[in-house]
Amino acid sequence: MLFDRDGTLIEDVPYNGEPGRVRPMPGARAAVEAVRGRGLSLGVVSNQSGVARGLLTRERVAAVRRRVEELLGPFGVWAVCPHGPDDGCGCRKPAPGLVHAACAELGVDPARTAVVGDIGADLAAARAAGARGVLVATPVTRPEEVAAAEESAPDLLTAVRRLLDPEDAPLGSEDAEGPPVQGPPAQSPPVRQSPEHRPAQGPAGGTP
DSSP per-residue string spanning the chain: -EE-TBTTTB---TT---GGG--BPTTHHHHHHHHHHTT---EEEEE-TTTTTTS--HHHHHHHHHHHHHHH---SEEEEE---TTS--SSSTTSSHHHHHHHHHHT--GGG-EEEESSHHHHHHHHHHT-EEEEE--TTS-HHHHHH-SSEESSHHHHHHHHH-TTTS--STTT--SSPPPPPPP-SPP-PPPTT--PPP-STTS--
Q: Is 12 part of the annotated catalytic residue set?
A: no
> Pick the catalytic residue: 6, 12, 118, 122?
6
> Pick the catalytic residue: 4, 12, 122, 175?
4
Q: In whole angstroms, how far apart are CA 24 and each of 7, 39, 68, 184?
A: 9, 22, 8, 30
Q: Is 122 part of the annotated catalytic residue set?
A: no
- Positions annotated as catalytic residues are 4, 6
